[in-house]
Amino acid sequence: MKLLLGLYKYFPWGGLQSDTLRFAQEAAKRGHQVCILTSAWSGPRPCEDIRVEIIKPRGFSNHRRMHNFARDFLQYRYRHGFDVALAMNRLPGADFYFAADSCMADWMPQKHSLLTLQTLPRYRTYLQQEAAICSPLANTRIMYIAPAQREEFMQAYQLPESRFIYLPPGIDERCLRPENAEELRRKKRAELGLGDNELMLLQVGSNFWLKGVDRVVKAIMQLPEELRASCRFFLAGNDSPEKLRRMLQNHGAEALLDFLGPRDDVPELLLAADLMLHPARREGAGAVLLEAMAAGLPVLCSGACGFSPFVEEASGTVLS
The CB density around residue 247, as the number of other CB atoms within 10 Å, is 17
Q: Is the pLDDT of residue 320 over 70?
A: no
Per DSSP, the residues of 268-291 read HHHHH-SEEEE--S-BS--HHHHH
Contacts 24+ apart (CB under 8 A), 22-27: 22/170, 23/86, 23/88, 23/98, 24/50, 25/50, 27/3
Q: What is the pLDDT of residue 148?
A: 87
- Measured distance between the N- and C-terminal CA atoms of the chain, rounded to whole angstroms: 45
Measured at the alpha carbon of residue 111, what is the angle toward residues 106 and 114, in degrees to the nearest 5? Answer: 80
Residues of the chain with CATH 3.40.50.2000: 2-166, 173-319
Average pLDDT over residues 249-275: 92
DSSP calls for 143-205: EESSHHHHHHHHHHH---GGGEEE------GGGSPPTTHHHHHHHHHHHTT--TT-EEEEEE-
Closest C-alpha to 142, from 77, 69, 86, 70: 86
pLDDT of residue 110: 85
Of 162, 164, 145, 140, nearest in space to 153 by CA: 164
- Say which CATH superfamily domain 173-319 falls into: Glycogen Phosphorylase B; (3.40.50.2000)
pLDDT score at 227: 94
What mean pLDDT is predicted for residues 257-267?
Answer: 93
Does the structure show a pLDDT above 90 at 53? yes
Closest CA to 3 of 68, 100, 88: 88
pLDDT at residue 117, rounded to an integer:
83
Better-predicted residue by pLDDT, 284 or 51: 51
Q: Say which amino acid occupies 152.
A: E
Q: What value does the mean pLDDT of the chain take? A: 93
Domain 2-166 indexed as CATH 1.20.1070.10: no
Asked whether residue 317 carries a pLDDT value surpassing 70, the answer given is no
pLDDT tens, residue by residue, 11-25: 988 889 989 999 999
Mean pLDDT of 258-279: 95
CB distance 311 to 293 below 8 Å: yes
Quick one: pLDDT at residue 174? Answer: 93
Model confidence pLDDT, tens digit, residues 146-198: 888 999 999 999 999 999 999 988 888 999 999 999 999 999 999 999 999 99
The answer to whether residue 107 scores a pLDDT higher than 80 is: yes
pLDDT band at residue 98, thresholds of 50, 70 and 90? very high
Most confidently predicted of 192-201, 241-250, 280-289: 192-201
Q: Are 2 and 28 within 8 A, CB to CB?
A: no
* Residue type (1 letter), 240: S
For residue 213, is pLDDT > 90?
yes
In the DSSP assignment, the letter for residue 140 is P
